[in-house]
């Protein structure tokens, strides 16, 4: 049996209703992890959360805010529906580097409910490469100061230590060797995380942007949790998502 077909067999065993429109050989190991979830925003449109749940989705990262004045149009609906269907969920904030950190933290706090049964909040840090109004990069020291301000405010608001989401270029430029006391959600869609990130453990791995999940029209990002199903349940208990 080839590696590709073996990965497909494992995938079908764990999640027979899910797939990938453009599977990449480099991330086939992701399918061996038994706990998978999704991350969504307005770009997924209206979601049938009952179907998402039926497909075996174990968690959802939901975009909430960006910068200091943007609220994802579908955040509150997605937030309510994920909870109603028993899917553990986390809210994430996308950092805009040309906005003061305290303003972004205040915006997140204003718009994201302090739900005690939610997963830890997520700070999404990557360069704003497609922005017309903000430079692609700022000084790494300044970026780290902004990150520290927002992480502290998010933890104070939720009572839970935030998760850091990042991609390969930003991690190399800013995060490598820093923020060691945080858990990470890493993007790596063509190779396993250890091949792309220097000395960085991960809790969640975003391994594709072309996933297919019942209840969602079109592509959706898919993610794997690093541990077993028992470890996932233990993590949910530690975060007071379940008892």
Q: Which residues are catalytic?
A: 39, 126
Measure Cα distances from 6 to 3, 38, 222 in Å: 5, 22, 19
C-beta separation of 173 from 100 below 8 A? no
> What are 206's strand-pairing partners?
187, 223
| Helix H or strand E encompassing 149 | helix 140-158
Give, in order, the Cα–Cα distances in Å from 236 to each of 106, 183, 229.
27, 14, 11
Measured at the CA of 163, the angle between CA 162 and CA 167, to 5 degrees, comes to 140
Q: Max Cα separation, the chain?
A: 54
> How many whole angstroms separate alpha carbon 3 and alpha carbon 173?
33
Which pair of structure tokens corresponds to residue 179? 């923020």
Spacing of C-alpha 48 from chain mean position? 20
């Amino acid at each position: 049996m080839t590696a590709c077909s073996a990965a497909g067999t494992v995938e079908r065993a764990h999640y027979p209703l899910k797939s990938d429109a453009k599977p990449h050989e480099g991330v086939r190991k992701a399918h061996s992890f038994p706990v998978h979830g999704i991350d969504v925003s307005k770009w997924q449109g209206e979601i049938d959360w009952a179907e998402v749940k039926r497909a075996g989705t174990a968690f959802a990262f939901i975009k909430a805010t960006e910068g200091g004045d943007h609220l994802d149009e579908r955040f509150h609906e997605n937030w309510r529906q994920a909870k109603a269907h028993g899917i553990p969920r986390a809210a994430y904030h996308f950092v805009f580097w040309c906005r003061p950190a305290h303003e972004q933290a205040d915006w997140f706090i204003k718009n994201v409910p302090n739900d005690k049964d939610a997963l830890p909040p997520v700070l999404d840090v990557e360069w704003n490469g497609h922005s017309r109004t903000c430079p692609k990069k700022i000084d790494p020291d300044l970026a780290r100061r902004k990150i520290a301000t927002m992480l502290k405010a998010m933890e104070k608001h939720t009572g839970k230590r935030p998760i850091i989401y990042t991609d390969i270029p930003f991690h190399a430029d800013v995060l490598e060797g820093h923020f060691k006391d945080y858990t990470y959600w890493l993007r790596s869609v063509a190779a396993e995380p250890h091949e792309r990130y220097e000395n960085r453990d991960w809790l969640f791995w975003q391994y594709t942007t072309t996933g297919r999940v019942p209840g969602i029209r079109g592509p959706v990002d898919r993610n794997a949790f690093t541990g077993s199903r028992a470890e996932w349940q233990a993590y949910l208990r530690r975060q007071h998502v379940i008892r």
